[in-house]
Amino acid sequence: MNTCPVYRKSGGLSYHNTISGPIGAILAPNLDMKKHADLPFASTLCGSCSNVCPVKIPIHEQLYKWRQVIVKEGYSASRKTFSMKAMALTLSSPEIYNTAGKTGRWILNHAPFAINNKFNPWYKQRDMPDSPEQSFGEWYSKNVKKS
């Protein structure tokens, strides 16, 4: 559990299951897939849990397979499905990606209440970081000479 970056930041209570951490995220959907459909998604799939597992369980691979089963069975939240489709569209188009980045930075600087409000479940738990003045791509094009 302690090697998982998500578990370290969120803590065990966010897993809403007796067995917390990545192993709990694998076991809980077996008991009640609908109730615990969100747990396999509480992972970065970085593989850190698999690397330190003393019996070499490929935990991150099992979490990924659970994600596929949950989506196929229709237990993923409709807003998550919509969000993933919107993200796929955004990441597949450089123009949309750049526009979304600029829009997000503008909102964080000029209208933070649009993000930090009661509809954001992290609002009570986390402070919003300062937004960068420019994207990495903008910085790179200004500061690195093109050959």
Q: What is the pLDDT of residues 64-92, one digit of tens each?
A: 999 999 999 999 888 888 998 999 999 99
Statement to judge: residues 68 and 20 lie in one domain: yes
Instruction: Look at residues 25, 49, 73 and tell me which one is the last residue of a structural domain.
Output: 73
Statement to judge: residues 69 and 106 lie in one domain: no
The domain in which residue 66 lies consists of 5-73
Per-residue pLDDT of 3-59, as tens digits, reads 888 777 776 666 677 777 788 889 889 889 999 888 888 888 999 989 999 999 999
Instruction: Look at residues 58, 73, 88 and tell me which one is the last residue of a structural domain.
Output: 73
Structure tokens belonging to residue 98: 């750049």
47 contacts 28 by C-beta, under 8 angstroms: no
Q: Show the beta-strand stretches assigned E in 23-65.
A: none
- pTM over the 0.75 mark: no
Statement to judge: residues 84 and 54 lie in one domain: no
> What's the domain count of the chain?
2
Structure tokens belonging to residue 52: 């330190």
Statement to judge: residues 106 and 133 lie in one domain: yes
